[in-house]
């Protein structure tokens, strides 16, 4: 598979401590992985393991101390790597029409002409299967699942090569979550997008991801083809994660509920 994204020996450090006693604290250490064209890769790890920091580094928003990030093709990282978040409303003006806001993204990136931008926006809203009257409605009038779709349309407006979903569906009801995940898979297949799925939900990784990366305290402990990783985890931490997940996946009904951070 042609690599779209190549991350090599990535280190990210944040300054920590008081003003008088500040030191750089390593958050992400020596992380290397690829994401192929049209491939879906899962990034798994407990809360605080550095998943979002890696996502921010890919968008050029984290202090990289060493290592490299290479994206095949032309265009800047901030445009070609787009992120969808758990709370799409946080990055939207709640009262402005979503049509105008998505059109604005096209303008910022110089995509299309002033005349055809609203047409492109309507096409994007249609792609994420929002109702036809959505263009003129403000963000606050949409349900949680529809807001997730708006977040996806907004990310797609920049015509990215890589879409990062950072726990994007974690807060949604299970049935709505399934619809959004299906939509992402369809978009991936239709548009040849690559996806980086950041999640603590191993069931999602198992169903959606071609490959998976396991992160522990800022370091990759294991990565591989999802099926192999689930069948034969080589690291004890991956085994611990899988053991915690198995009861949910067994055919025996279980009263255990998944943990959310």
Least Cβ distance, residue 166 to ligand ADP (angstroms): 7
Helices and strands: H and E segment counts in the chain: 9, 9
Q: Which two tokens stand for residue 102?
A: 């998505």
DSSP secondary structure letter of residue 134: G
Cβ-based nearer residue to ligand ADP, 23 or 256: 23
Cβ-based nearer residue to Mg ion, 128 or 164: 164
Q: Which two tokens stand for residue 75?
A: 């265009």
Q: Which two tokens stand for residue 27?
A: 């958050």
Picked from ligand ADP, Mg ion, none, the partner binding residue 53 (CB below 5 to 8 A depending on kind) is ligand ADP
Cβ-based nearer residue to ligand ADP, 16 or 254: 16
Cβ-based nearer residue to ligand ADP, 50 or 233: 50
Least Cβ distance, residue 151 to ligand ADP (angstroms): 18
Phi-psi region of 193 (alpha: psi -120 to 50; beta: other; left: phi over 0): beta
Q: Which two tokens stand for residue 38?
A: 């049209």
Sheet holding 23-36, edge to edge: 23-36, 3-16, 64-71
Cβ-based nearer residue to ligand ADP, 40 or 52: 52
52 binds Mg ion (CB under 5 A): yes
Picked from ligand ADP, Mg ion, none, the partner binding residue 159 (CB below 5 to 8 A depending on kind) is none
β-pair type (3-16, 23-36): antiparallel
Least Cβ distance, residue 43 to ligand ADP (angstroms): 9
Least Cβ distance, residue 47 to Mg ion (angstroms): 7
Least Cβ distance, residue 87 to Mg ion (angstroms): 12
Q: Are residues 111 and 157 in contact, defined by beta-carbon separation less than 8 angstroms?
A: yes
Among positive and negative, which fits the CA dihedral 188, 191, 192, 198? negative
Q: Which two tokens stand for residue 212?
A: 């998976």
Residues that bind ligand ADP in the complex, under the rule CB under 6 A: 14, 16, 27, 45, 47-53
Least Cβ distance, residue 244 to ligand ADP (angstroms): 16
Q: Are residues 58 and 77 in contact, defined by beta-carbon separation less than 8 angstroms?
A: yes
Picked from Mg ion, ligand ADP, none, the partner binding residue 143 (CB below 5 to 8 A depending on kind) is none
Picked from Mg ion, ligand ADP, none, the partner binding residue 45 (CB below 5 to 8 A depending on kind) is ligand ADP
List contacts with Mg ion (CB under 5 A).
51-52
């Amino acid at each position: 598979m042609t690599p779209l994204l190549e991350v090599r020996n990535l280190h990210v450090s944040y300054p920590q401590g008081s003003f008088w006693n500040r030191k750089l604290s390593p958050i992400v250490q020596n992380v290397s992985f690829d994401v192929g064209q049209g491939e879906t890769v899962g990034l798994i790890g407990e809360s605080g393991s550095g998943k979002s920091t890696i996502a921010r580094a890919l968008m050029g928003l984290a202090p990289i101390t060493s290592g490299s990030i290479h994206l095949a093709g032309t265009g800047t990282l901030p445009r070609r790597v787009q992120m969808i978040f758990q709370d799409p409303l946080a990055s939207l003006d709640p009262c402005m029409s979503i049509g105008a806001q998505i059109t604005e993204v096209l303008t910022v990136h110089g995509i299309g002409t002033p005349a055809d931008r609203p047409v492109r926006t309507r096409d994007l809203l249609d792609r994420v299967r929002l109702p036809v009257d959505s263009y003129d409605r403000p963000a606050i009038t949409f349900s949680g699942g529809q807001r997730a779709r708006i977040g996806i349309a907004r990310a797609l407006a920049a015509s990215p090569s890589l879409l990062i979903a950072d726990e994007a569906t974690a807060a949604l009801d299970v049935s709505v979550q399934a619809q959004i995940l299906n939509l992402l898979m369809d978009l991936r297949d239709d548009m040849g997008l690559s996806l980086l799925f950041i999640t603590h939900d191993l069931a999602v990784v198992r169903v959606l991801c071609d490959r998976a990366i396991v992160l522990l305290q800022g370091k990759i402990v294991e990565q591989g083809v999802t099926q192999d990783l689930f069948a034969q985890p080589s690291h004890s931490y991956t085994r611990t994660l899988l053991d915690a997940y198995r009861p949910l996946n067994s055919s025996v009904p279980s009263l255990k509920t998944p943990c959310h951070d």
